[in-house]
Amino acid sequence: MSVRTMFFGVVQAYLLCSIIDITAPTYALNSKSLSSTPSQRQATREILSALNRRHFVDLDVDDQLSERFLDNYIQRLDPNKSFFIQSDINEFSHFKHRLDDELKKGLNTTGFFIYDRLKQRMDERLTQVINSLERTPLSVDFTIDETLLIDSDEALWPQTIKDADDQWRKRIKAYFLNQKLSGENPDKSRKNLIKRYQNQLDRIQKNNAENIYEIYINSFTELYDPHTSYFSPRTSENFSINMSLSLEGIGAVLQTEDEYTKVVRLVTAGPADKQGELKPADRITGVGQGDDEIVNVVGWHLDEVVNLIRGPKDSIVQLQVLPSGSADSSAYKVVRIKRDKVKLEDQAAQKAVITLTNQNKPFKVGVIDIPAFYLDFEAFRKRDPNYRSTTKDVNRLLNELQLEGVDGIVVDLRDNGGGSLYEATSVTDLFIDKGPVVQIGKDGGQKSSNVSQNNAYYRGPLVILINRLSASASEIFAGAIQDYNRGLIVGSQSFGKGTVQTLTPLKSQGELKMTESKFYRVSGESTQHRGVIPDIAMPEIIDVSEVGESSYDTALPWSKTFPVRHGNYLSLDKFISTLSQLHKKRVNSNPDFIYINERKALINSTNSKKLVHLKEEKRLEEKADIEKKSLSIENKRRKAKGQTIFKTFEELTEYEKKKSEERSANAGTTTIDIKDDAILKEAGYILKDFVDLLLQPSGRVAKTP
């Protein structure tokens, strides 16, 4: 996964806030309208030429692509279908076969025209709403039984101004109901909403041609794949600052989704990861500095939110978050994180030993946790013999674990977002003999290969543990182990990031990040989109529709190319069925796994809701029902484990708060948590079963020629 992709995520759009049409459509731009600059027109020609020559996929820039381009641009500007009304969309549809012709000429006229219409609508609507909130006493009736559609995919464009007005009324009502249910003062809620809309109004008025062009052209580049994007001079400059060694922050990968800033993943061993409360797919709705008032950031540009979150080392940032999977849209929480640098030593591989019972004999499982594939490039470049790397650390840990007499190894790649491709190949080298590890190229085309150079250092029983946040370099390592039949892959389907990007400066202005090739396993299968499928699956609470490559609409598909000759260590297929049966027998009665499955089912049921009730009584009933189910799920686990049950949901909340505080207090520690990690323990039991089936008298896994 490229560094730029990890930091910015996929979407670089500056998504704006809701408005509606209150004037008749006009074609001509007004005197204050912005227009494309000569350098932007040259950039368009350069981008189109580069995509045609070098992108992984070959798209015809024709009328069909023009239609998709128009739809994507409108969706970027109005993700919730609350900006334009149907008459605007009807007018814009006249341009659906024009955009491709304009691109070929380097023109961006239609993009600026549509944006100008948006700006007019926002100016008028936000001014109207702000004036209304400032002069009208707050009076909202929460006894009326009505609903608000929150699924933008199913929402229709407002047919009339009256329809749009009613949608705005419901949105504002939903906001005040959420605030009331969260215990917020009504007058403060009103002032916060005014401030939110005023900030949006200020930003739309300050937007310049650079902002507009970046939104427009990335609506086009995104059609190729989500990791191909244009960086304006401003974005490139901000990126250089963000990626500098002096950067301090929270260690979170963010992207814009609809009006929200969404957490894609956490940087392993970063401040947010150590603090423990922020999770992938959480939506950040507000940011505060220290103990200062939290600023609402719904509808803000991504770089503006990043600038608020970033700050000096040891300072505190508050994030107001709507947790992923929360059925209650008023269930915000505030996460306090101390900013810090992500230190190489904090990402270092670690070891632990789990002792299980095997036929009344102790079975020792060696665990190696690899948070990232790291390499101290500067020390390596200077030929410092003491440079730090994943390979050197894992080699040392393998030696220590073997001296401790472990019966097998579990390599834990959960939440490992990737890192150095060289290190992924080099670590694989510790477990397999000489041979190819990964191919890089195009379907059926010429490819380069990264290869294992040495004989395997460790030949004992091996299990690789992955999850949805295991990405890129992690998938290369796990995929190679699976293809060589060197060990079992257990856990859940990995992220599926299997594309390679290059960054090219444009002669005119800005830079183009473009997908030029894919990673392919030695079997010929790509890791793109599908990721690595475990031999034995285990559940996790992460929603795969929200997190992972397949969650992007324009992600490149899975594909195959020619396999390359590689070794084969074991015939695992005939054993996987037995191992799966033993696994299922354990987890079906395991209170922790029952909890995971029931919690996931509750989250899925809440995520599937497309409407939110605006009647307070019904919302309170929903909230009480969710709290009751959550308490029941937790107490069911605690009872089965002989722990004290909670009498009320408030007790559970207080307990979770204390656990969070303990995590924050111990944020500097790097020990592996074995006690409460049911999935890691189960990986150990799978390894035990594996050894029972495969371990030879010599104590080594047999290798087939």
Q: Judge whether 166 counts as a catalytic residue.
A: no
Strand partners, 436: 451
Q: Which of 312, 338, 364 is the last residue of a domain?
A: 338
- Is the pLDDT at 610 greater than 70? The verdict is yes
CA distance 678 to 684: 10
Q: Taking every pair of C-alpha atoms in the chain, what is the biggest distance, in angstroms? A: 85
Catalytic residue among 279, 497, 513, 681: 497
pTM across the whole model: 0.87
Split at pLDDT 50, 70, 90, the class of 400 is: very high
Of 501 and 257, the structure prediction assigns the larger pLDDT to 501
pLDDT of residue 6: 30
Asked, for residue 686, whether it belongs to a domain, the answer is no
pLDDT of residue 326: 60
pLDDT of residue 694: 76
Of 526 and 445, the structure prediction assigns the larger pLDDT to 526
Asked, for residue 381, whether it belongs to a domain, the answer is yes
Q: What percent of the chain has pLDDT over 70?
A: 89
Contact 259, 171 (CB under 8 A): no
Q: Judge whether 618 counts as a catalytic residue.
A: no
- Is the pLDDT at 200 greater than 90? The verdict is no
For residue 186, the number of C-alpha atoms closer than 13 Å in the C-beta half-sphere is: 7
Split at pLDDT 50, 70, 90, the class of 702 is: very low
Residue closest to 511 by CA, chosen among 521, 520, 519, 501: 501
- Is the pLDDT at 26 greater than 60? The verdict is no
pLDDT of residue 329: 55
Contact 479, 448 (CB under 8 A): no
pLDDT of residue 665: 66
Q: Tell me what the mean pLDDT of segment 319-344 comes to.
A: 76
Q: Looking at the structure, tell me whether residues 250 and 183 fall in a common domain.
A: no
Contact 501, 515 (CB under 8 A): yes
Q: Tell me what the mean pLDDT of segment 511-528 comes to.
A: 96
- Is the pLDDT at 61 greater than 50? The verdict is yes
Q: Looking at the structure, tell me whether residues 334 and 357 fall in a common domain.
A: no
Q: Looking at the structure, tell me whether residues 281 and 307 fall in a common domain.
A: yes
pLDDT of residue 21: 26
Of 303 and 439, the structure prediction assigns the larger pLDDT to 439
The pLDDT mean for the chain works out to 86
pLDDT of residue 285: 87
Which segment of 57-66, 75-84, 616-625 scores lowest on mean pLDDT?
75-84
Residue closest to 230 by CA, chosen among 506, 509, 6, 511: 511
Reduced to 3 states (helix: H, G, I; strand: E, B; else coil), residue 539 is coil
> How would you write 351-414 as a 3-class SS string?
EEEEEEEECCEEEEEEEEECCCECECHHHHHCCCCCCCEHHHHHHHHHHHHHHCCCCEEEEECC
Split at pLDDT 50, 70, 90, the class of 7 is: very low
Q: Looking at the structure, tell me whether residues 357 and 432 fall in a common domain.
A: yes
- Is the pLDDT at 173 greater than 80? The verdict is yes
Q: Looking at the structure, tell me whether residues 331 and 348 fall in a common domain.
A: no
Asked, for residue 519, whether it belongs to a domain, the answer is yes
Asked, for residue 698, whether it belongs to a domain, the answer is no
The angle subtended at Cα 150 by Cα 148 and Cα 156, nearest 5°, is 85
Asked, for residue 401, whether it belongs to a domain, the answer is yes
Backbone angles phi, psi at 52, to 5 degrees: -65, -35
Amino acid at 698: S
**What's 444's domain CATH number?**
3.90.226.10
CA distance 144 to 615: 6
Q: Which of 338, 365, 395 is the last residue of a domain?
A: 338
pLDDT of residue 379: 80
Strand partners, 449: 439
Q: Tell me what the mean pLDDT of segment 387-410 comes to.
A: 95
pLDDT of residue 184: 86
Of 106 and 258, the structure prediction assigns the larger pLDDT to 106
Q: Looking at the structure, tell me whether residues 384 and 314 fall in a common domain.
A: no
Residue closest to 305 by CA, chosen among 436, 213, 199, 206: 199
Q: Looking at the structure, tell me whether residues 139 and 171 fall in a common domain.
A: yes
Q: Looking at the structure, tell me whether residues 41 and 170 fall in a common domain.
A: yes
pLDDT of residue 161: 87
Q: Which of 227, 254, 276 is the last residue of a domain?
A: 227
Of 532 and 126, the structure prediction assigns the larger pLDDT to 532
Catalytic residue among 282, 303, 429, 483: 483
Reduced to 3 states (helix: H, G, I; strand: E, B; else coil), residue 309 is helix
- Is the pLDDT at 505 greater than 80? The verdict is yes
pLDDT of residue 245: 34
> How far are the Cα atoms of 105, 189, 595, 634, 666 from residue 652, in angstroms, in the given order?
62, 28, 15, 8, 21
- Is the pLDDT at 490 greater than 90? The verdict is yes
User: Which of the 8 DSSP states describes residue 701?
Assistant: B
Total structural domains within the chain:
4
CA distance 109 to 50: 21
Q: Tell me what the mean pLDDT of segment 489-496 comes to.
A: 97
Split at pLDDT 50, 70, 90, the class of 324 is: confident
Q: Tell me what the mean pLDDT of segment 220-239 comes to.
A: 87
Q: Looking at the structure, tell me whether residues 327 and 369 fall in a common domain.
A: no
- Is the pLDDT at 20 greater than 60? The verdict is no
Asked, for residue 470, whether it belongs to a domain, the answer is yes
CA distance 532 to 471: 9
Of 466 and 418, the structure prediction assigns the larger pLDDT to 466
Position of tokens 């150990």?
Answer: 684
Q: Tell me what the mean pLDDT of segment 312-319 comes to.
A: 90
Could you count the other beta carbons within 10 Å of the beta carbon of residue 499?
A: 26
Split at pLDDT 50, 70, 90, the class of 435 is: very high
Q: What is the pLDDT of residues 643-699, one digit of tens each?
A: 999 999 999 989 988 887 776 666 555 566 777 899 999 999 999 999 988 764 444
CA distance 450 to 435: 9
Of 133 and 303, the structure prediction assigns the larger pLDDT to 133
**What's 316's domain CATH number?**
2.30.42.10
DSSP result, 318-360: EEEEE-TT-S-TT--EEEEEE-B---GGGGS-EEEEEEEEETT
pLDDT of residue 45: 97
Q: What is the pLDDT of residues 286-305, one digit of tens each?
A: 899 988 888 888 878 777 88
CA distance 443 to 448: 12
Q: Looking at the structure, tell me whether residues 321 and 202 fall in a common domain.
A: no
Split at pLDDT 50, 70, 90, the class of 587 is: very high
Could you count the other beta carbons within 10 Å of the beta carbon of residue 228?
A: 27
Q: Tell me what the mean pLDDT of segment 443-453 comes to.
A: 82
Asked, for residue 405, whether it belongs to a domain, the answer is yes
Q: What percent of the chain has pLDDT over 90?
A: 58
Q: Judge whether 333 counts as a catalytic residue.
A: no
Catalytic residue among 472, 492, 550, 559: 472
Q: Which of 194-208, 221-235, 355-369 has the highest mean pLDDT?
A: 221-235
Q: Which of 94-103, 145-154, 313-322, 356-365 has the highest mean pLDDT?
A: 94-103
- Is the pLDDT at 14 greater than 80? The verdict is no
CA distance 107 to 73: 15
Contact 533, 72 (CB under 8 A): no
pLDDT of residue 104: 96
User: For the chain, what is the total number of helices (H) and then of strands (E)?
Assistant: 21, 19
- Is the pLDDT at 2 greater than 70? The verdict is no
Asked, for residue 532, whether it belongs to a domain, the answer is yes
Residue partners of 5: CB distance under 8 A and separation at least 6: 227, 497, 501, 513
Q: Looking at the structure, tell me whether residues 252 and 205 fall in a common domain.
A: no
Q: Looking at the structure, tell me whether residues 326 and 348 fall in a common domain.
A: no
For residue 255, give its domain range.
Answer: 245-338
